[in-house]
Amino acid sequence: MIAAVDALSSFPLPSESLPDLSERIARLNALWETLPKPAGSGLGGAFRSRAWDAVSPALARQAEFNATLVQILNGWLSETPHLHARLRDVLGAIVGYAQRVLPMMDARDRMSSALATARSELILEAFDRRQESLGRRLTGLLALRDRLEAVSEEVRAIRAALDQAAPPPAVAASASRAASDSRYVAFENRYRGDPEEVRGRLSSYVELFRDRAPVVDLGCGRGEFLLLLKENAVAARGVEGNAHVVQECRGRGLDVVHGDLVAFLRAEPAGAIGGVFAAQVGEHLPPAVLQEMLREAHRVLRPDGLLVLETVNPRSLVAFLEIYNRDLTHERPLHPDTLSFLAAAAGFTDVRVELRSPVEPAARLQAIPTGGLPERAARALNENVERLNGLLYGPQEYALIARR
C-alpha cells in the first residue's frame, strides 16, 4: 500500500509536463483586447468610421467577455500549480509517516505474538503440572481401589471358609486357599467386567445349547453362563478351580463343584453330556492339558453334541496387548487355526470359528477422505487402512464351535 501511495505522490506538475504553458498564457493576455477604432479621411475613412460605429457595441461585449475569461484563466492557472505542489507534499508526508509507523506496528505485532506464545506456554505448562498432579492422585486412587477390592474379596473368602464346620487345621488351610483365590476374583472383577456385562456378552450362546441338556460349563467362574442357562430352563452344571467363587455360585443355587476340569470330565460316562462350554479357559491351560480336555470333551458328548470354547483372539493386536497380556495366569495365546486343528484331531467335526467382541468403530483407524486425491490413490490408501484395522483392531475374542 505504501508503494502505491508513493507512486501517486510522484505525479508531474503542470509546469513540468507543459514547459511552454507560461508563454501561452502571456500570449493570451496580449490578444484578449479588441482592435482599436480605424482612422482615416475622405469617403473611405467615413465608411470605415460608420462601420466601426455599427459593430463597436458587439466588439465591446466581446472584449468584456474576453477580459473576464482571461482573468478567470489567469486566476485558475496561478493557483493550480500551488495546489498540485501541496497535494504532492501531502502524499509525500503520508508516505513518510507510514514508513515510520509500519516498523512500529510490525514490532508491536511481533511483541504481541511473542507475549501470546509465552502466555500459551505458561498456561500449557501450568495445565501439564495440574494434569500430572491429578494423574498421580488418580493413580493412587486406582491403586487404593484395587487394594480395597482385593482385601474385600479376601475377607469375604476367609469368612466363608471359617463358617464351614471343619477341624481347625482344615479350616486354616481352607481360609488360606480362599484368601489366595479371592485375589484373582478381585482381579476379574476389575478387568473382566461387571457380571451383568459378562452375562450380556454370553447371552448369545444360550440358543446353541437350548436343546442340548445337560450342559457342563468348564471353568464357570462367577457362574454368569450357568445363570443364563438356568433362567432358560436348560439343565447345567459347572466345575471351577477357585474355591471362593464356587461358594458364591452355590450361594446363588447353581450346581458347581470345586475341582480340576479334566478330572471332572473323566468322571462323566461316555455320551452322557449334550454340550460342553468354556469361556476364557483354554488360554489358561498348558498344551497337554488342553489336548486332554478336548479328548475327554469328545468322549463325554453324545452324538451331535456341541463344544463351544471362547478365548482371546491373538490375531487382534489390541486384544493381545490389552486383554491377554494383562492376566498373569494365561499360559499361552491360542491361534484360531491351532485350536481348530486340535479340535479336529480330537475327533470333532464341523469345526468353525466365530469372531466376537468387535472394537468400537471410533477406536479404529479412520478412512482417508477422497477429496483432493486421485481416485486410485485414495482407494489404495483406504484398502491399506482396512488391512491395518484388521490386524490392529480385529475382534477381541473368538469362539470355536464344533460337533461330536
174-195: pLDDT as tens digits: 555 555 555 555 556 555 667 7
**Does residue 165 or residue 317 have the better pLDDT?**
317
**Does residue 238 or residue 72 have the better pLDDT?**
238
Q: What is the pLDDT of residue 110?
A: 78
Is beta strand 301-312 parallel, antiparallel or unpaired with respect to 256-258? unpaired
Average pLDDT over residues 321-331: 84
Most confident residue range from 14-23, 112-121, 170-179, 297-306: 297-306
Q: What is the secondary structure of 113-181 as a DSSP string? A: HHHHHHHHHHHHHHHHHHHHHHHHHHHHHHHHHHHHHHHHHHHHHHHHHHTS---HHHHHHHHHHHHHH
Average pLDDT over residues 57-79: 71
Residue 266 near residue 296 (C-beta atoms within 8 A):
yes
What domains, with CATH codes, occur in the chain? 2-108 (no CATH), 194-403 (3.40.50.150)
Q: Predicted confidence band at 253 (pLDDT cuts at 50, 70, 90)?
A: very high
> Is the per-residue pLDDT at 222 higher than 80?
yes
**Does residue 101 or residue 398 have the better pLDDT?**
398
Average pLDDT over residues 344-371: 89
Q: What is the pLDDT of residue 215?
A: 97
> Is the per-residue pLDDT at 366 higher than 90?
no
Q: What is the pLDDT of residue 139?
A: 67
* Lowest pLDDT segment from 86-100, 103-117, 156-170: 156-170
Q: What is the pLDDT of residue 349?
A: 93
pTM score, whole prediction:
0.56
> Is the per-residue pLDDT at 337 higher than 60?
yes
Q: What is the pLDDT of residue 101?
A: 76
Q: Predicted confidence band at 217 (pLDDT cuts at 50, 70, 90)?
A: very high
CA gap 312, 320 in Å, rounded = 7
Cα angle 367, 373, 377; round to 5: 70
> Is the per-residue pLDDT at 84 higher than 80?
no
